């Protein structure tokens, strides 16, 4: 009985020290190993993009330098584009204080264009039920008009879609305020 308790105690101590070592390493640095998940401490939708400077919708400023690496999450096989546009959803890592107003990105793990669809994440800043459809203009139940002329309109599976009365739509526009919204991307859910 004593031998069993001793063995269980040693196994418990070894397991606890291994777990403590793993969690400390994950919090200290971005993961370079494909066996671990990346550390993300920068995240948001790009509200403004100027050469080397991305301002997120939260107001945080992210500096992109030549040293910034664009590397995908180890769980994905894709590549990460260096082209960040207004409306892009980004996730990354900074060695700076992540709570600072301005940080320099060490890595960008995710950069998804605002078009959504085909497995991408759509940045949403307007939504509502469709009350009327007239050419390139959709009126929502709350009275707002959504201009669809230049928008990428798609269904949940990523395929092109049409908009009909009664559909519920979510979308992204550079300026979502006001009574007329010039949409860039619209996800249509027929209900």
Instruction: Note the pLDDT tens digit of each residue in 112-136.
Output: 766 544 445 566 788 889 999 998 8
Give the C-alpha separation, 189 to 162, whole Å.
10
- Mean pLDDT of the 95-105 span: 95
In the predicted model, is pLDDT for residue 46 greater than 50? Answer: yes
Give the C-alpha separation, 23 to 12, whole Å.
17
Instruction: Note the pLDDT tens digit of each residue in 1-45.
Output: 555 454 444 444 444 444 444 433 333 445 444 445 678 899 888
- Tell me, what DSSP letter sits at residue 158? S
Q: Is the pTM of this model over 0.75?
A: no
**Which of 101, 109, 89 minimizes the C-alpha distance to 39?**
109
In the predicted model, is pLDDT for residue 89 greater than 90? Answer: no
| Amino acid 178: pLDDT | 78
Instruction: Note the pLDDT tens digit of each residue in 134-173.
Output: 988 999 999 999 998 878 887 766 677 889 898 888 888 8
Give the C-alpha separation, 169 to 165, whole Å.
10
In the predicted model, is pLDDT for residue 185 greater than 60? Answer: yes
- Tell me, what DSSP letter sits at residue 76? -
- Mean pLDDT of the 167-190 span: 83
In the predicted model, is pLDDT for residue 61 greater than 90? Answer: yes
| Amino acid 95: pLDDT | 94
In the predicted model, is pLDDT for residue 102 greater than 80? Answer: yes
| Amino acid 21: pLDDT | 44
Q: Which two tokens stand for residue 60?
A: 């945080």
């Amino acid at each position: 009985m004593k031998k069993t308790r001793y063995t269980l105690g040693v196994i418990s101590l070894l397991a606890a020290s291994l777990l403590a070592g793993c969690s400390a390493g994950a919090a200290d640095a971005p993961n370079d190993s494909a066996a671990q998940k990346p550390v993300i401490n920068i995240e948001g939708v790009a509200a403004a993009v100027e050469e080397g400077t991305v301002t997120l919708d939260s107001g945080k400023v992210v500096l992109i330098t030549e040293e910034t690496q664009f590397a995908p999450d180890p769980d994905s096989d894709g590549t990460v584009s260096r082209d960040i546009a207004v409306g892009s959803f980004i996730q990354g890592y900074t060695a700076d204080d992540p709570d600072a107003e301005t940080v320099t990105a060490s890595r960008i793990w995710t950069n998804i264009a605002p078009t959504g669809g085909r497995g991408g994440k759509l940045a949403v800043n307007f939504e509502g039920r469709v009350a009327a459809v007239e050419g390139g203009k959709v009126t929502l139940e709350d009275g707002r008009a959504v201009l669809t002329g230049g928008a990428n309109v798609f269904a949940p599976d990523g395929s092109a879609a049409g908009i009909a009365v009664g559909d519920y739509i979510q979308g992204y526009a550079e300026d979502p305020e006001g009574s007329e919204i010039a949409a860039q991307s619209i996800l249509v859910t027929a209900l």
